[in-house]
Amino acid sequence: MKKKNLLTRIIIIVVVTIFGLYLVIGPRRRPTLKDFTWSGIKQSLASNIKLGLDLQGGSHLVMRVKTEEFLRRLTEENSIAAQNAAKDAGYEIKGGRAEIGGGDYHVVVDVTDPSKANEIKDAVEKKVELGDTSVWAYSASGEQLRWTMTQAAQRMLADNATTQALNIIDSRINALGIVEPTLQTHGAQSAHQILLQMPGVQDPERVKEILKGESRLELVHVIGPPSPAPATTYPTEAAAIESLNSAGTIPPNRKVLPYTERMELSANSSDDQNQQRPKQWVVVETPAIIDGSELRNATAVPSQGGRADDYEINFSLKRTGADKFGAWTGSHINEYMGVVLNGEVKSIAYIKSQIFDSGQITGRFTQQSAEDLALTLRSGALPAPIEYLEERTVGPSLGQDSIRAGVRASLVGLALVVVFMLFYYRGSGVNAVIALILNMILMLAGLIAFGATLTLPGIAGIILTIGMAVDSNVLIFERIREELRSGKTVASAVDMGFQRAFITIIDTHVTTIVSSLFLFVFGTGPIRGFAVTLVIGLLVNLFSAVYVSRTIFIWLLSRKERVESLSI
């Protein structure tokens, strides 16, 4: 066995060990003497290792994206757009509607002259996405033009809505500063469910409110005489519909929306200045001038003319939105515009001059509600509402119990293994114990280095890795015993023992790692935590059980020119 590489091996092991110890117990700042006390080491260890929901406590939510609502809204919007496109092209139609039921989604346009059906179809499909044959199937029967959403398109759009909701929820959770959340799809793909675990969050109500907020922002034209006449409002929804002179129906290019106006500030008002007037109704033009997809940023700021605890939201627009907004406001000076949020008019103002890239939402906002609304606006509107299917809160005391039980199990298992190795393999057992302790240190260091979260199944993975680490040493030691019994010298037996056991160790580790990768890819949170811990432990074990153990034997054999016996 060669001795010339012994120094190199020792240097590598020392460097790796020191680096691993620093990752595990080292502070993430300039160290002080207190950091090297027992309490300081415990504090550093607690801050370095990220604990999962089952160990730290927190909230567990399973939500479903209501994709049927998304498909319904998409169909209704296309229905309105199709009727407007036909009228804008100069064709007379009787009307139109969205027919939804039994899992089917149809856009129907009733024409006056069936001979012009193909012309109307072409005019509609030039302006509306109904011309996309991968989504909509067209058919005509007499005076009726019909576009039907295909089943394949329904599945694709529903999956896309779920993915979009997942991304938006992720951005909102990150903006809230929740540490190490678990966010992923849950259950079968057709279930459109999302799993969210938030370690350390004991009251998830605010998070739930922010997550389910659709934040559908629209800037719309409010129908009525221009300023200086006041904005036209109606006391009831029926009165607003009656003003349309359309036989009690709402035309496709109009909407009737609720509007709650704030009390005007006055010199004599005090606590009642933020009281609301009764709900009113306004008629607005559809489609909107711009919507929330054109939003670039939104921030909560103190209100300029309200009380000290009054807040409002300033928003700015992207370039494309600013161009459309500027063109519209430039041609509608003195007319009224409304800010619509989630189907309710929040504020109405008249256009004094051309506006391009910014606006404001006023209302009865506290600081927190304004900041939450600004956050949801910045992250974008959810494509569909979400509903909560499951909610659990794990208390920190339960997490502490799990930690104590897991640590106790690990220490007891480690102690029993150490006793067995020392008793059965005598002096060589010390070699295995050193490699085992180093394995534990480097495994925790690996979890920290990769940013993995330690869960209760992860602790099970650590315990399993202890067993596999010992198994590797047992394979090596038994091979060495066989070589010694065959009459080989100690040096030759050690050398051959490692060589012949190495293939078996690689084989068992590779097969287990492949199995763990499948668990990680196809498993859910706890299963993935187990897989991550197991993979890191196995990779570390190849270093500790083979490289470190062999280095210790090389060092022992280098102390004498000829070693006659080995304590094994």
Walk across the sheet containing 193-199 and list its strands. Answer: 182-186, 193-199, 58-65, 386-394
The per-residue b/e assignment along 439-461, b for 16 or more CB within 10 angstroms, e otherwise, is bbbbbbbbbbeeebbbbbbbbbb
Alpha-carbon distance of 347 to 313, in angstroms, equals: 12
Nearest partner of 491 among 427, 547, 555, judged by Cα: 555
CATH class of 6-28+49-57+396-558: mainly alpha
Instruction: Report the largest interatomic distance among the alpha carbons of the chain, rounded to a whole angstrom.
Output: 110
Q: What is the pLDDT of residue 151?
A: 93
Rounded distance between C-alpha atoms, residue 398 and residue 54, angstroms: 8
Residues 350, 338 contacting (CB under 8 angstroms):
no
Q: Which of 58, 178, 61, 62 has its CA nearest to residue 455?
A: 58
pLDDT for position 102: 87
What is the model's pLDDT at position 271?
44
3-state SS, residue 230: coil
Yes or no: say if 195 and 61 are a contact pair by the CB < 8 Å rule.
Answer: yes
Same topology between domain 67-154 and domain 215-359: no
Concatenating the DSSP letter of every residue in 466-498 gives: HHHHHHHHHHHHHHHHHHHHTT--HHHHHHHHH
Compute the residue count for the chain.
568
Tokens for 377?
Answer: 């606006």
Give me the CATH code for the 67-154 domain, please.
Answer: 3.30.70
Q: Please spell the DSSP secondary structure of 135-201, one letter per residue.
A: TEEEEEETTEEEEEE-HHHHHHHHHHHHHHHHHHHHHHHHHHT-SS-EEEEES-GGG-EEEEEEET-
* Inter-helix orientation angle 396-449/6-25, to 10°: 150
Burial status of residue 159 (CB atoms within 10 A of its CB: 0-12, 13-18, 19 or more): middle
Strands 50-51 and 453-454: parallel
Q: Where are the domains of the chain?
A: 6-28+49-57+396-558, 67-154, 215-359
Please name the residues in contact with 446: beta carbons below 8 A apart, sequence gap of 6 or more.
452, 536, 537, 539, 540
Residues 67/384, Cβ–Cβ less than 8 Å: yes
**Helical axes 6-25 vs 549-558, angle rounded to 10°:** 140
The per-residue pLDDT for 215 is 60
The answer to whether residues 357 and 327 touch, using CB atoms and an 8 Å cutoff, is no
The CATH code for residues 215-359 is: 3.30.1360
Tens place of pLDDT per residue across the chain (568 aa): 455 588 888 899 999 999 999 888 888 778 888 877 888 888 888 788 877 777 777 888 899 999 999 899 899 888 988 988 898 888 888 888 999 988 899 999 999 988 889 999 999 998 888 888 889 999 998 889 999 999 999 999 999 889 888 888 887 787 677 766 788 888 888 899 998 888 777 777 777 777 766 567 788 899 999 888 888 999 999 999 989 888 888 888 888 999 876 544 343 444 444 455 678 999 999 888 887 777 777 788 887 765 666 787 787 877 777 888 888 888 988 888 888 877 888 778 788 788 777 777 666 677 877 777 676 666 666 778 888 898 887 766 656 777 788 778 878 888 888 888 888 888 888 888 888 888 888 988 988 888 777 877 888 888 888 888 888 888 898 898 888 888 888 888 888 888 888 888 888 889 989 988 888 888 766 787 788 888 898 889 888 888 888 888 888 888 766 666 777 7
* Closest to 244 in 3D by CA, of 285, 278, 274, 199: 285
